[in-house]
Structure 1
Amino acid sequence: MLSLPLAAEQRSAEVTDWAARIGWVVGLLLFVALVYWLMRQGWKWRGSLQSDLPELPAAPAAPGAATLAMAGRYHGSTTAGQWLDRIVAHGLGSRSRVELTLTDAGLDVVRPGANDFFIPAAQLREARLDEGIAGKVLAEGGLLIVTWEHGGTLIDSGFRADRSAEHTAWVEAVNALCPRGPAPMNALNITTEGPAR
């Protein structure tokens, strides 16, 4: 007879404390929202620090015949030689799909859903294969890095073709188009020392 009330008490003890559970869920959601807000403020702060970077050039009306074309992904831009120093000004920090077209006039970067830009041939410095750029690390040679000069700053922009076998041809073509070959980093007071990968 005594075992029945005891069993009833055990069953009633299993009832969930909804107020505490809702409080934990609301607290967790507020914490996630705070972290997201802080990340967004950091992104805006970085953009304001880079506000001296001039507007990106637009493609000329007659860029000339295409030497190479490639579809793939744009993975971001950094200060040349500083693979973690992401540039976010003018939308350069936004990852997106990309269509690259190389002509005698330069490199046309078309990004659906993001800012397009054009790198005139005179501003190209070099192209190389690398494995990482600002939060994206791939197998060795998995990224096509194009170094270019804009507003007195050397910039590395990272691209990955849908067919990575195209990268080698792009390195050769871009380097052939560069006016004087790679610019020495220290000529523009840019250090090449960065964090170990």
Structure 2
Amino acid sequence: MDKIGPGLLALSLVAVLFGLMLAGWRGRLRRQQDVAPLPGPPADAGPPLEAYEGQYVVTTTAGDWLDRISVHGLGIRGNALLRVYPHGLLIERTGAPDVYIPRDVLGGVRTESGMIGKFVEKEGLAVVTWQLGDRSVDTAFRTRSAADKAPLLAQLTSLVPTASQDEE
């Protein structure tokens, strides 16, 4: 009988913490309702140049690795297949909506050691900066195999429009 009281107190505290986390997540979703909807892939995407297995990590506000974008399922981490096409890239996620990033909205590619919720070895994440509506965002992907990271970065970098391509 002496252990029931502290056990109920601990259980109550856990329930309150989960309730606060849920309220915080819902508040973030409410604040981010102005984020533009995700672009859809073209109807005839054609064959991909390459595909990489790995993990979709997160999408954040560009330059702020702690400001997770939660709307449109972008805050859900999970296994994914990243397909690189001449017209953009498609991240096919397990248990969450796919993310298509058209080539013309790409702003840059870099590596990071971590973003909110996931930290790995130095330069372990491939991060793509792109425009989602009027908001600049960063999307992180981690390849399953370390040997795939360099080819993925080369493929992604080749997609980023340069000033000379924009003038043509």
Q: TM-score of the superposition, structure 2-length normalised?
A: 0.92
Specify the SS of the correspondent of 2:49.
strand
**Residues in 1 aligned to 2:151 and 2:89: alpha-carbon distance in whole angstroms:** 14
- Residue number among 88, 91, 97 corresponding to 1:109 in the alignment: 91
- Aligned to 2:40, the other structure's residue is in SS state coil
Deviation of the 1:64 alpha carbon: 2.3
Contact 1:100 / 1:108 at 8 angstroms: preserved in 2?
Answer: yes
Equivalent pairs: percent with the same residue? 37
Partner of 2:33, secondary structure, is: coil
CA distance, structure 2, for counterparts of residue 164 and residue 64 of structure 1 = 27
For residue 12 of structure 2, what is the amino acid of its counterpart? L
Whether 1:80 aligns to 2:54 is: no
Tell me, yes or no, if structure 1 residue 120 matches structure 2 residue 120.
no
Task: Find the counterpart in structure 1 of residue 31 from structure 2.
Answer: 49
1:132 aligned residue: 114
Whether the aligned pair in 2 keeps the contact of 1:72 and 1:98 (CA below 8 Å) is: yes
Quick check: 1:129–1:167 contact (8 Å CA) kept in 2?
Answer: no
Cα drift, residue 143 of structure 1 = 0.7
Give 2:73's aligned residue: 91
Aligned length: 163
Aligned partner of 2:139 in structure 1 is 157
Conserved? CA contact 1:64–1:104, under 8 Å: no
Q: Deviations over 1:137-185 (max 9, x none)?
A: 111011111111111111111111110221222222112111237xxxx
Bigger CA radius of gyration: 1
| Aligned-CA RMSD value | 1.2
Within the alignment, does 1:169 sit opposite 2:151 as a pair? yes
Distance 2:153 2:54 in 1: 15
